[in-house]
Amino acid sequence: MLFLIFACAQEDAKDSVMLCNGFTDLCDKRISEALFTGTHNSMSSQEEGWLGPNHIYSIPTQLNDGIRALNIDTYWWEEEAYMCHSFCEIGAQPLSYASDTIADFLERNPNNVIIITFQSTLSAEETLQPFYDSGLQSELYHHETGTQWPTIQNLINEQKRLLLFSNQDGGRMEGYMSQWEHWLDNPYSAQSVDDFACIPDRGDESTATLYNINHFLTNPIALPELAQEANEESVLTEHIQRCISETSLNPTQLLVDFYSIGNPMDVVHNYNLQ
């Protein structure tokens, strides 16, 4: 089995003004124009000992490898906000682990913007507290519907480099946006590549201006063998192009399992060069 890592080198100070999320091509793109490679159930990794993981590598490794969109499930467990997937007994980490990791990454790599979508069972306050404790409150960007999204360079310049969206309680507090007010989402229950679909089945079409493509297989759980098939360059490219054709939407996020298998990051980079 072949495992490929799209390495994103640590920013060099002399180059940092020229790069946005690792590439000069992204600086002038609005959030609604760029495509981000996202990890589905980002917290669930073999590296951190999760059972039935969605990825080999943990969130710190994902960020260092160039992932800039995280998808995280959250629960209240052991008297604090935790990242779990359905059952905390099979894998769990405090949400503060992710917020501390992101704070450290942005300090070391200032020319980057990170998106997080939460599948949450928590209140806005419970979710945001770890980010406040990590010193990230001032970094949270809040977008109003009906206005243009800023460019990645604008967000970097204004030090609003973290975009948080939640399916629950989003929109109630500054910097914690409502996922389905801003995002459209294609079906996520594919068991084979023939099941990949494009027409949105979640999100408010009257307000949403971002579009997520779920591109992962669950049969019955995420497996490296399934990712090897799904993350093939031709399969990824066909799904993206078909979704653009069928929906007339520009994709904002491509959500995958086992991002280090196959070519998802290369495919996204080539898309952003168009």
Q: State the residue for tokens 């996020």.
A: 253
Domains of the chain: 24-272 (3.20.20.190)
- What is the Cα–Cα distance from 19 to 242, expressed in whole angstroms? 30
From CA 175, how far away is CA 156, in angstroms rounded? 16
Contact criterion met (CB below 8 Å) for 145 and 187 = no
Tell if the pTM clears 0.75, that is, is over it.
Answer: yes
DSSP state of 258: S
* DSSP element (H, E) containing 106: helix 95-108
- Angle, helices 233-247 vs 264-272, to 10°: value is 50
The tens digit of pLDDT for each residue in 121-143 reads 999 999 999 999 999 999 999 99
Q: Are 210 and 203 in contact (CB under 8 A)?
A: no
Q: Do residues 185 and 212 lie in contact, with contact meaning Cβ atoms separated by under 8 Å?
A: yes
Give the pLDDT of residue 18: 58
Quick one: which of 174, 185, 169 has its CA closest to 144?
A: 174
Are 110 and 158 a contacting pair, CB within 8 Å? no
Mean pLDDT by groups of 10 residues along the chain of 274 residues: 41 58 96 98 98 98 98 97 95 98 98 98 98 98 98 98 98 98 97 97 97 97 98 98 97 98 97 94
* pLDDT, tens digit, 9 for 90 and up, residues 165-209: 999 999 999 999 999 999 999 999 999 999 999 999 999 999 999
